[in-house]
Amino acid sequence: MTFFSIIWKNILRRKSRSGFTAAGVAIGVGAGVSLCAIAWGFNESFENAYLARGTDAIIAKLTSASLMPGFFDESRARDVASLPGVRSVAAMLSDFINLEGSDGLIVYGWQPGSFLWDHLDMREGTRPSIHEAGERVYLGVIAAGLLKKNAGDSLRIRDRVFEVAGIFESDSLVENGAVVLPLSQLQEIVGRRGKVSFLNLRLDVATTSEQFDDLRTVIERKFRGLKFYRAGEVASNLASVQASKAMSIATTAIALIVGTLGVMNAVLMSVYERTREIGLLAAVGWRRRRIVAMVLAESVAISSVGALAGVVMGVAAVLTMQSMEFMRGKIQAAFGPGLFLSAFVLAAGLGIAGALYPAWKAASIPPRSALQGG
């Protein structure tokens, strides 16, 4: 009987135990895949928002003490616009507000007439004019669906009633699930007159990496407390995104530790039940390293099956959440080959870690004692 046929026979001989062990691995891997996909998707959705707006760089006041960016004077936009290499600047304010029929949506305040509006595809109504007047609000298509609003309807935000002047679609999921107001109106609603949370910059087309770094140095020296980022860097520096990633990693680690203990218990029980068989293999010439390899291979095989099931479970769980009414527009998953490969590598590592002690135990069984039943 070959090495691999023995492994396959041992796995099938204990179908229930192998199945429960694989299920434990699947739960750990599934939790990891779903949580990491959501956390990395959260990061990607913010990056997509900046790319959709045509933003080259961001100025923000980010601190580790707060999940949300800090506020700073709107007048900084004029100061930055005068710097060499800066083509245009658009100030922006953002907040998370509970609105009619929703648990809370992102609300943006954008300068009317700025480039922030240019990429929006207006499905209903019209985009705002440079001198926007009246209580008017614009909804992303997902936000409009959640709030059950059409152009011309009214929407209450805090103690003020706005007319839904337009419904738009963006290439960014974050924006499709958001509400957009003229900057000055959101400043009044949240009590932040003259304050913004981000400056979106478009730079000269020919800006080199060296010129970008020089501009970063000038801005961070001139405006103490503010940070200058490339559009693709800011999301990973947001404390909320970092917290999301940390929580996903911590939860995954706990699930994998529990899975490792489950694998160890199952493999160890298998070794005890097969003491006589393992002793016989040693008696007919199997070396200790071959016995160790057999136990490890069995564990890795079971863990790999669990990983496959876990990947399917994780993807299905995320897709189900995305389809739920109260979650639509709030999460975006980032699935990719790297995530799935990581799941199988982790599962293999989990199988090896869980089988190390049982494998050592199996290799330590004296052939004579095992054959005598001792």
Q: Read off the pLDDT of residues 81-110 as tens digits, 9 standing for 90 and up.
A: 999 889 999 999 988 888 876 677 889 999
| Secondary structure letter of residue 103 according to DSSP | S
Cβ neighbours for 170, distance < 8 A, ≥ 6 positions apart: 49, 52, 119, 120, 121, 140, 176
DSSP-based three-state secondary structure for 334? coil
Q: Read off the pLDDT of residues 310-348 as tens digits, 9 standing for 90 and up.
A: 888 888 888 887 777 666 656 667 777 877 888 788 778
Residue 363: CA count within 13 A, CB half-sphere: 16
> How far is it, in rounded angstroms, from Cα 136 to Cα 161?
9
Which pLDDT belongs to residue 89? 94
Neighbours of 134 (CB within 10 A): 10
Please state the pTM of the whole predicted model. Answer: 0.66
Cβ neighbours for 140, distance < 8 A, ≥ 6 positions apart: 167, 168, 169, 170, 175, 176, 177, 178, 179, 180, 329
Mean residue pLDDT across the chain: 79
Which pLDDT belongs to residue 359? 77
> How far is it, in rounded angstroms, from Cα 320 to Cα 251?
20
Residue indicated by tokens 């936009």: 77
Enter the tokens of residue 279.
């002793």
Q: Of 26-40, 52-66, 207-221, 357-371, where does mean pLDDT reach its minimum?
A: 357-371
Rg from Cα positions in the chain: 29
